[in-house]
Amino acid sequence: MCGIACYVGPRDAAPIVLDGLRRLEYRGYDSAGIVTFDGAAHALKRAGKLAVLRDAAERHPLPGARALGHTRWATHGPPTDGNAHPHATEDGRLALVHNGIVENHAALRAELEAAGHTFVSDTDSETVVHLIEQLDDGDLHAAVRAATDRLNGAWALVVAHAERPEIVVARRTSPLVIGLGDGEQFVASDVAALLPHTRRVVYLRDGETAVLREDGVTVYDEAGAPTDLREEAIPWEADAAEKNGWPHYMLKEIFEQPTVVRSVLQDALTPDGGVDLGLRVDLADVDRVVVVAAGTAAYAGRLGAAWIERFARIPAHVEIASEFRYRDPVVGPRTLVVAVSQSGETIDTLEAVREAGRAGAHRAAFVNVRGSSIAREVEDVSPLCAGPEIGVASTKAYLAMATRFLLLALQMGRARGVLDDDAVASWTADLRALPARLEEALARRDAVREAVAAFDGARSVLYLGRGTNVASAYEGALKLKEISYLHAEAYPTGEMKHGPIALIDATVPVVALAPDGPLHAKTLSNLAEVRARDGRILALASDGDEAIAAHADRVLWTPRVPDALSPLVLAVPMQLLAYETAVRLGRDVDQPRNLAKSVTVE
Ligand code: M6R
């Protein structure tokens, strides 16, 4: 969604802020803008990609050592130059950037127009700058606080005035992180924009405001009193969010997965072959697990629920976060609610976590971004250890989530006495071998590149899986849809004959997940039904599977692993299938249309 990058200090601010916006491009946006201050205000806003704004910036001077920058993902009003941020007062001297939605903007707008303010955009955000102007008697911080008292909704606000030396920020729900420099300060919607400058950060909490000046930062609590800075260090290297020679972030992140799994295992395995995710909850006392998540994270949650039921023998299911909070869910003190989120900022998941808290559940979170809103909301945090994920299509975070769920299932199984030490040690030994298996799967990229020809001219692609790999099929189909724009649908293989088999013809290729395991023979029977109807099958099968050839037009071979681990290995060829298809079709792999990396509006 929208991105914010701002600077105050001694340096020329525009290049710093434009580079910060470039680092936030992955969040998804459709217009961009910047304002700089050198006693006067200099603003530039453009619909379209950041390159358009950068081209314009080469022709328009943007002097000043303070700047606010923004990439907008349109909600109220189309993506035009005028609707792009920053929004400013009529004289242009007071300006702001805003992420979030002001829900009472229509009433405020009517009130402000009646008081003589002239609006020039369709946005909810413009309301806020007029409101601050109305309330400003020379103390910008006080005016911002007074204005936010009148707002309903969500905001990350950054405000500046041409004649005042500071930048004022305010936050409710939408994320904001302050970067502490040496004689210069930064603020951004996420740490990716800060990494080249500083790894010392302060995550602003809900209701807090802050004043940033060249020589320091003051944070104020909800009541307006100065509060501790709560400085934290970002654990990521500065170049972790760079492409480093890869053509796309997505491909780089797919190939980082063996390293990510090693990090997850290093974080969670004990020297004696046990598992300790560092959770405070008494896992032996939990009687039910509910996973709340969205998109890919929810599919990782489906894997998790299946593993928890298998290894810990307690009921577990996944709920789509946007539904959970509105259906008065039945959870109680012995329910463990696990929120899963790469960004830690997905608003649907955050609100589901809050709902679970109101219902009295113990809440744990698997998040990739430390200090994120979800991480701060819950009782227990288990970091994903995936490093920054920039590609909009989630890959390495998915594998980190899935691996962590398998580890949780094993730890829970041990805590409940379903598994003994030897069983856990045997599974963790298999997990230790997983990174090598992933490397083997990645080494087969050429075979995947050849296989995607099977999708040429396809009307739709059907993904089929059984058992745990039903979740893998859903994730594979989502990956293909979101970056290639080909329609794809997933089904449990055995459910085909109850309806979707009507779709089968030569223009609907079928990706069949058929790894070795207890359901292999059943899967082959289902595939025979597809073949009998002229279906075209691309099978993902385990090395050495002699039976599969008779049931598929083409086979992608995957390294043989114990059946519980097959979803982790199958993820690689499915990610590559989506990637190679998108490249073949000339799609924008890292920033697919209409999508945002972190979905911070409902
Ligand atoms: O940051 P989160 O993990 O909470 O994001 C959840 C979904 O928005 C995300 O997984 C989305 O589905 C991705 N585009 C999938 O590739």
DSSP letter for each residue of 86-136: PEE-TTS-EEEEEES-BTTHHHHHHHHHHTT----SS-SHHHHHHHHHHH-
Q: Which residues are CB-contacts of 156 (< 8 A; sequence separation ≥ 6)? A: 4, 98, 99, 100, 169, 170, 171, 174, 175, 176, 189, 204
The type of residue at 454 is: A
User: Confidence band (pLDDT; 50, 70, 90) for 162?
Assistant: very high
Per the residue annotation, which of 45, 479, 481, 597 is the catalytic one? 597
Provide the Cα torsion 500, 502, 508, 513; round to 10°.
40
Q: In this structure, what DSSP letter does residue 563 have?
A: G
Q: In angstroms, rounded to a whole number, what is the distance separating the alpha carbons of residues 250 and 264?
A: 20
The answer, yes or no, to whether residue 602 has pLDDT greater than 80, is no
Ligand 1 atom closest to the Cα of residue 296 is 10
pLDDT in tens, 131-150: 999 999 999 999 999 999 99
Pairing of strands 41-47, 31-37: antiparallel
Within this chain, do residues 472 and 499 fall inside the same structural domain, yes or no?
A: yes
Within this chain, do residues 76 and 99 fall inside the same structural domain, yes or no?
A: yes
Quick one: which of 540, 549, 593 has its CA closest to 569? 540
Pocket of ligand 1 contains residue 393 by CB under 6 Å: yes
Q: 3-state class of 68 per DSSP?
A: strand
Q: What is the pLDDT of residue 287?
A: 95
Within this chain, do residues 381 and 293 fall inside the same structural domain, yes or no?
A: yes
Q: In angstroms, rounded to a whole number, what is the distance separating the alpha carbons of residues 84 and 283?
A: 49
pLDDT in tens, 96-105: 999 999 999 9
Nearest CA to ligand 1 atom 9: 295
Within this chain, do residues 416 and 446 fall inside the same structural domain, yes or no?
A: no
- In the chain, how many domains are there? 3
User: Confidence band (pLDDT; 50, 70, 90) for 73?
Assistant: confident
Pocket of ligand 1 contains residue 296 by CB under 6 Å: yes
Pocket of ligand 1 contains residue 469 by CB under 6 Å: no
Nearest CA to ligand 1 atom 8: 295
Quick one: which of 243, 99, 77 has its CA closest to 159? 99
- Residue range of the domain that includes 573: 438-602
Q: In angstroms, rounded to a whole number, what is the distance separating the alpha carbons of residues 346 and 414?
A: 32
Quick one: which of 33, 61, 26, 34 has its CA closest to 47? 33
Q: What is the pLDDT of residue 137?
A: 94
- CA atoms within 13 A of residue 386's CA, in its CB half-sphere: 30
Strand ranges across the sheet with 177-180: 41-47, 31-37, 66-72, 3-8, 185-188, 177-180, 200-203, 232-233
Ligand 1 atom closest to the Cα of residue 293 is 4
The tokens for 254 are 């797919």
Q: Which residues are CB-contacts of 423 (< 8 A; sequence separation ≥ 6)? A: 413
Pocket of ligand 1 contains residue 368 by CB under 6 Å: no
Pocket of ligand 1 contains residue 349 by CB under 6 Å: yes
Within this chain, do residues 402 and 263 fall inside the same structural domain, yes or no?
A: yes
Q: Which residues are CB-contacts of 244 (< 8 A; sequence separation ≥ 6)? A: 252
pLDDT in tens, 461-484: 999 999 999 999 999 999 999 999
Q: Is 2 a catalytic residue?
A: yes
Q: What is the pLDDT of residue 405?
A: 98
- Give the CATH number, domain containing residue 575: 3.40.50.10490
Nearest CA to ligand 1 atom 4: 341
Place of tokens 């601050």: 132
- CA atoms within 13 A of residue 580's CA, in its CB half-sphere: 20
Helix axes 140-149, 125-135, angle to 10 degrees: 120
Nearest CA to ligand 1 atom 7: 295
User: Confidence band (pLDDT; 50, 70, 90) for 30?
Assistant: confident
Within this chain, do residues 403 and 387 fall inside the same structural domain, yes or no?
A: yes
Q: Percent of the chain beyond pLDDT 70?
A: 100
Residue where one domain finishes, among candidates 193, 215, 240 = 240
Q: Is 396 a catalytic residue?
A: no
Q: What is the pLDDT of residue 455?
A: 93
The tokens for 566 are 């097959």
Q: What is the pLDDT of residue 235?
A: 80
- DSSP annotation string for 319-344: EEHHHHTTS-----TTEEEEEEESSS
Pocket of ligand 1 contains residue 599 by CB under 6 Å: yes
Residue where one domain finishes, among candidates 240, 258, 284 = 240
The tokens for 357 are 């808290």
Pocket of ligand 1 contains residue 367 by CB under 6 Å: no
pLDDT in tens, 187-237: 999 888 999 999 999 999 999 999 999 999 999 999 999 999 999 998 887
Q: In angstroms, rounded to a whole number, what is the distance separating the alpha carbons of residues 501 and 504?
A: 5
Q: In angstroms, rounded to a whole number, what is the distance separating the alpha carbons of residues 26 and 394?
A: 12
Question: Is there a contact between 160 and 195 (Cβ–Cβ < 8 Å)?
Answer: no
Mean pLDDT across the chain: 95
Quick one: which of 596, 525, 592, 516 has its CA closest to 557? 516
Q: Hey, CA dihedral for 495, 500, 506, 508, is it positive or negative?
A: negative
Within this chain, do residues 427 and 449 fall inside the same structural domain, yes or no?
A: no
- DSSP annotation string for 421-484: HHHHHHHHHHHHHHHHHHHHHHTTHHHHHHHGGGGTT-S-EEEEE-TTHHHHHHHHHHHHHHHH
Within this chain, do residues 155 and 186 fall inside the same structural domain, yes or no?
A: yes
- Give the CATH number, domain containing residue 23: 3.60.20.10
Within this chain, do residues 552 and 442 fall inside the same structural domain, yes or no?
A: yes
Distances, alpha carbon 557 to alpha carbons 218, 490, 539, in Å: 57, 20, 8
Question: Is there a contact between 293 and 318 (Cβ–Cβ < 8 Å)?
Answer: yes
Question: Is there a contact between 261 and 403 (Cβ–Cβ < 8 Å)?
Answer: yes
CA of 298 to the centre of ligand 1 (A): 8
Question: Is there a contact between 231 and 199 (Cβ–Cβ < 8 Å)?
Answer: no
Residue where one domain finishes, among candidates 432, 451, 474 = 432
Q: In angstroms, rounded to a whole number, what is the distance separating the alpha carbons of residues 428 and 275?
A: 8
CA of 303 to the centre of ligand 1 (A): 16
Q: What is the pLDDT of residue 28?
A: 76
Within this chain, do residues 428 and 453 fall inside the same structural domain, yes or no?
A: no
pTM for the model stands at 0.85
Within this chain, do residues 572 and 517 fall inside the same structural domain, yes or no?
A: yes
Q: What is the pLDDT of residue 600?
A: 76
Ligand 1 atom closest to the Cα of residue 401 is 3
Within this chain, do residues 151 and 44 fall inside the same structural domain, yes or no?
A: yes
Q: In angstroms, rounded to a whole number, what is the distance separating the alpha carbons of residues 266 and 219?
A: 36
